[in-house]
Amino acid sequence: MITKSPYIYLVEDDADDRFMMQQAFADVNFADRVRMFSSSEFFLNYIISVTNTIELPTLFVLDFNMPVINGGELLIKLKQHEVLKSIPVVLYSTGMRPILKETLIASGAVDCFEKALDYIELCKQAKTFRLMAEGSEVVY
C-alpha cells in the first residue's frame, strides 16, 4: 500500500523514553503522525497482520536495546518482508558504537543514532526523524 502522507512507527520499550519522544514530536509539530509501540513483539505481530489493510508508515524508528527481539533483529525481519522492505528504518540506542552502526547499515538501516542526552537534542532528533519520514534530504 502507498502512504500519501508521512507517518512514523516508533518501537521503544522504555515508557519514559516513549513519553519524552512524544513530547519532542509535539514540539516539532509531528506528534499526530507518530504511532508508538511498547515492544518489538507487539509491533511485529501488528505490522505483519495489517500490511494489506492499512496505510504503511514512511519510516520505522527502532530502539536497538529491547528484550526478546532487539532492534537489529527486528530490522532484519522488516527487510525480509516483501511489503515492508522498502520502508526506511533507523535505529537509535544509548550505546551506538561505530561497529554496531556499520553492521546495522549493512543489514538495511538507512541510519543509526545515539539517543539524545538532553531535551534540546531530543527535539533535534525528532525533527530529523520527521524530515526523514517526509522524504526530505537530511543534513547533519
**Beta-ladder partners of 20:** none
> Which pLDDT value is given to residue 3?
44
pLDDT at 1 over 80: no
pLDDT at 137 over 90: no
Q: What's the CA gap between 109 and 89, in Å, rounded?
A: 5
* Percent of the chain residues topping a pLDDT of 70: 93
- Do the beta carbons of residue 38 and residue 68 sit within 8 Å? no
Q: What's the CA gap between 110 and 41, in Å, rounded?
A: 22
> Which pLDDT value is given to residue 140?
52
Q: What's the CA gap between 27 and 97, in Å, rounded?
A: 28
Which has more confidence, 9 or 4? Answer: 9
pTM of the prediction? 0.92
Q: What is the chain's mean pLDDT, rounded?
A: 91
Q: How far is CA 85 from CA 29, 73, 98, in A?
A: 27, 14, 24
Rg of the chain in Å (alpha carbons): 14
